[in-house]
Amino acid sequence: MTGKTVLFLALGGDRQRIVIQDAARVASDGGRAVVVIGDPTVWPTPRRFSRRVKVLELPTLEAAALPAVVARKTLYGLPRRLCRKVGRLPLMSWSSAVGETYERRIADVLHARLFLPTYQRLRGDNRHRLLRRLVLAKTPFDVVVICDPQSIPVAARLARRRSIAKRLTYDLDGPLG
Amino acid sequence: MDPAPSSDVAIVTPWYPSRHRPFLGAFVRAMVQATSSGPHRTLVYHCDEWVGPYPPAVEAELIRAHHALLPRILRPQPVDGIAGLLRLPVPLALGLTYAEIAKRHADTVGAALGRGPIDAPVVHAHVGLPGGWAALRNARPDARLFVTEHATFLDAVLAQPEARRMYDELLHRCTGFFAVGRAVRDPLVEAFPHHAHRIAIIPNPVSFAAVRPAPVTDLRRWLFVGGLIARKGVLRLLEAFAQCRREDPTLTLTLVGEGPLLKELRARGAQLGVAEAVRYTGAVGPDEALRLMREHDLLVHPSQFETFGMTVVEAVAAGMPVLVTRCHGPEETLVGIGDATAEFVAVEDDPTSLAEGFRRLRGRFTAGLDLDAARRVLSGRYGYEAVAAAHHRAWFAGPETAATTAVTERGMEQPVA
């Protein structure tokens, strides 16, 4: 495992000790370890990862996807800019209050009830695309380890590409295809 | 995994040591090591349970994906002395019955193999459910199927009707069935009297290769090896150790293993004023555990129930006496050599009786135990050669010898002759 670049898919977070130990081992062997976790709140002590291990949170990756960026800019960015232009003194406090009310009562509701469900319905489970575009395309990982059951469906979709399938394994020490 | 790897012997097991769980199934690995001495090639299928709280909808999707993925990415790991080791994750939701768990194991092995069966003329499974069932469902029609049962939770398995029915079918269809001792065989015979003639005994093998550098001269350095769980009697052990240490402050205790009682043990050790004399190593690999045995003077094994009690035999192999409870397995494994190497105490919660057992053993040690003689006897019973020969006779001899190879009625007096 010396000097390898390893991606750990730990989206479920229910085999944490193994993931933390294996990632630390890769780093201490002179390699590079990146761990992708799902819900960060299920990791009670995320800081137990070695400092040399990079931890990516899936919600952060999802937020970086283009449709999410466009939705944020449309629902929040543009109205904020408008408020800033309109809200010059002496209208500053008034426009600030209107902006906050808009975000709370309209933007948040539209984002949660319209954008997210529609986006999820149209795109389905696109976690594998996010990983491919935002993680795998940026780093030539030698090994991709499937660390828990909830990472398996994502790994199965990633494996549709032969170039990724041959780097996938269930065990850090397991042979690759 | 295309095509499915072929071998002369396939081992199917839910337990096998790994980096993260070096203790789990150490006896299965010992059996593989012992029996791989011949020219045949052995391939191990380790069905590694990944248990979690998955909702049914999620679970169905992940199993579909898992079964599609397995044959594409699974490859045997090279392991010294055998053809290879296949680690097959088996995702399991919490709360499944033993029957459901066994079916998941069988489905996982089947998925890993693609469309073919396990390509081996001899398939040997560990643990009736799930290992035996997974082997039964995936063995070639002409394969000779053997099962070794070790499980301490056999009563719970047999209490579930569907699991019991599957167990009955397994016993009916396998070529040979082995229990590691009477503690396993007796409840099976009681549950399935019509299969009594098929259930033989072959014990776990223990390596007697390593020799202790210096003999034990005093029983000062206590050792415990096992899970830090209630069934192993570790709290009783700590209390008894504290009692004995009040009389002899040079005593030390090393606990090898991990478990949910670690915190409680540390706290109680501090209350009892023995914290500085107690060392916790955490989980270590089997080789390291055996090395530690050769550096200690006494194994204390206060377990409430053991089907075999491999640690006790390993301790005698390491040239140390044992203070052990009458928890079924050890009475059987040490039959005839108790006076030479062991002191038995009752299974109970009272630490005083354990401390008294230590005082008796220490007195007898001074008078002279015969540890070498005990070691020789156990080597003949449980050494790699003896146990491997019993397996080889069963695997490669005619069908009529399979179920009668091992001793069935005389217990451990001539266990694998």
Does the structure show a pLDDT above 60 at A99?
yes
Is the CB of B73 less than 8 angstroms away from the CB of A18?
no
Q: Please list every residue in chain B whose beta carbon sits closer than 8 Å to the beta carbon of residue A15.
A: 50
Going by pLDDT thresholds of 50, 70 and 90, the confidence category of residue A91 is low
| Distance to chain B for A100, nearest Cα, Å | 38
Going by pLDDT thresholds of 50, 70 and 90, the confidence category of residue B409 is very low
Q: List residues of B whose CB lies inside 8 A of any A CB.
A: 19-20, 50, 52-54, 58-59, 61-62, 65-66, 68-69, 72-78, 87, 89, 91
Average pLDDT over residues B290-306: 95
Structural contact between residues B225 and B279, judged by C-beta atoms closer than 8 angstroms: no
The full length of chain B comes to: 417
Residue B350: per-residue pLDDT: 94
Provide, rounded to the nearest whole percent, the portion of chain B with pLDDT above 90: 78
Residue A117: per-residue pLDDT: 77
Q: How many CB pairs under 8 A join A and B?
A: 68
Residue B110: per-residue pLDDT: 96
Chain B residue whose CA is closest to A17: B20
Average pLDDT over residues B55-62: 83
Provide, rounded to the nearest whole percent, the portion of chain B with pLDDT above 70: 94
| Residue pLDDT, tens place only, B80-95 | 888 899 999 999 999 9
pTM, full prediction: 0.82
| Distance to chain B for A126, nearest Cα, Å | 15
Residues B273/B282/B304/B124 CA torsion (nearest 10 deg): -170
**Element (H or E) spanning B70, and its range?**
helix B56-73
Q: List, as one string, the DSSP characters of B158-189.
A: HTSHHHHHHHHHHHHH-SEEEESSHHHHHHHH
Going by pLDDT thresholds of 50, 70 and 90, the confidence category of residue A132 is very high
Enter the tokens of residue A136.
């795998």
Going by pLDDT thresholds of 50, 70 and 90, the confidence category of residue A88 is low
Contact partners, residue B149, CB within 8 Å, separation at least 6: B127, B128, B132, B177, B178, B179, B180, B184, B188
What b-and-e string marks burial along A120-140, b requiring 16 or more CB atoms within 10 Å of the CB? eeeeeebbbebbeebbbeeee
* β partners of residue A56: A36
Provide, rounded to the nearest whole percent, the portion of chain A with pLDDT above 90: 40
Going by pLDDT thresholds of 50, 70 and 90, the confidence category of residue A122 is confident
Pairing type for strands B122-126 and B9-13 reads parallel
Residue A45: per-residue pLDDT: 64
| Distance to chain B for A163, nearest Cα, Å | 12
| Residue pLDDT, tens place only, A19-70 | 999 999 999 999 999 999 998 888 876 558 888 999 999 988 888 777 777 7
For residue B268, the SS3 value is: helix
Is the CB of B65 less than 8 angstroms away from the CB of A176?
no
ipTM for the whole complex: 0.78
Cα–Cα distance measured from residue B300 to residue B190, given in angstroms and rounded to the nearest whole number? 32
Residue A46 identity: P
| Distance to chain A for B281, nearest Cα, Å | 17
Helix H segments across B283-333? 286-294, 310-317, 329-333
Chain B residue whose CA is closest to A145: B73
Cα–Cα distance measured from residue B185 to residue B181, given in angstroms and rounded to the nearest whole number? 6
| Distance to chain B for A148, nearest Cα, Å | 7
Residue A46: per-residue pLDDT: 54
Going by pLDDT thresholds of 50, 70 and 90, the confidence category of residue B408 is very low
Alpha carbon B72 to its chain centroid, in Å, reads: 32
Other beta carbons within 10 Å of A85: 9
Pick the CATH number of B221-378 from 2.60.120.10, 3.40.50.720, 3.40.50.300, 3.40.50.2000: 3.40.50.2000
Average pLDDT over residues A115-132: 81
Average pLDDT over residues B356-378: 93
Q: Please list every residue in chain A whose beta carbon sits closer than 8 Å to the beta carbon of residue B83.
A: none
| Full 3-state SS string of A46-98 | HHHCCCCEEEEEHHHHHHCCHHHHHHHHHHHHHHHHHHHHHCCCCCHHHHHHH
User: What residue segments make up the domains of chain B, in order of their start?
Assistant: 9-201, 221-378
Going by pLDDT thresholds of 50, 70 and 90, the confidence category of residue B206 is very high
Average pLDDT over residues B27-39: 91
Is the CB of A152 less than 8 angstroms away from the CB of B62?
yes
Residue B310: per-residue pLDDT: 87
List the single best residue of A18, A150, A151, A169 to mutate versus B (max B Cβ within 10 A). A150
Look up residue A103 and give its DSSP letter. Answer: I
Alpha carbon B374 to its chain centroid, in Å, reads: 21
**A90 preceded by a cis bond (ω within 30 of 0):** yes
Q: Please list every residue in chain B whose beta carbon sits closer than 8 Å to the beta carbon of residue A150.
A: 52, 54, 58, 62
Does the structure show a pLDDT above 80 at B416?
no
Q: Which of B402, A1, A20, A101 is nearest to A10 (CA)?
A: A20
Going by pLDDT thresholds of 50, 70 and 90, the confidence category of residue B376 is very high
Q: Is B9-201's fold the same as B221-378's?
A: yes
For residue B131, the SS3 value is: helix
Cα–Cα distance measured from residue B393 to residue B405, given in angstroms and rounded to the nearest whole number? 7
Average pLDDT over residues B384-410: 69
Structural contact between residues B146 and B402, judged by C-beta atoms closer than 8 angstroms: yes
Residue A47: per-residue pLDDT: 59
Question: What is the CATH code of the structural domain delimited by B9-201?
Answer: 3.40.50.2000
Cα–Cα distance measured from residue B87 to residue B80, given in angstroms and rounded to the nearest whole number? 16
Residue B412: per-residue pLDDT: 36
When mean pLDDT is compared over B57-66, B125-134, B279-288, the highest value belongs to B125-134
List the single best residue of B18, B51, B69, B74 to mutate versus A (max A Cβ within 10 A). B69
Average pLDDT over residues A119-129: 80
Is the CB of A171 less than 8 angstroms away from the CB of B77?
yes
Alpha carbon B402 to its chain centroid, in Å, reads: 22
Chain B residue whose CA is closest to A168: B73
Structural contact between residues B177 and B171, judged by C-beta atoms closer than 8 angstroms: yes
For residue B313, the SS3 value is: helix
Packing angle of the helix pair B384-396, B371-382 (nearest 10 deg): 10
Contact partners, residue B136, CB within 8 Å, separation at least 6: B106, B125, B145, B169, B170, B173, B174
Average pLDDT over residues B161-166: 98
| Full 3-state SS string of B198-218 | HEEECCCCECCCCCCCCCCCC
Q: List residues of A whose CB lies inside 8 A of any B CB.
A: 12, 14-15, 17-18, 21, 146, 148-150, 152-153, 155-157, 159, 165, 168-171, 173-177
Average pLDDT of every residue of chain B: 91
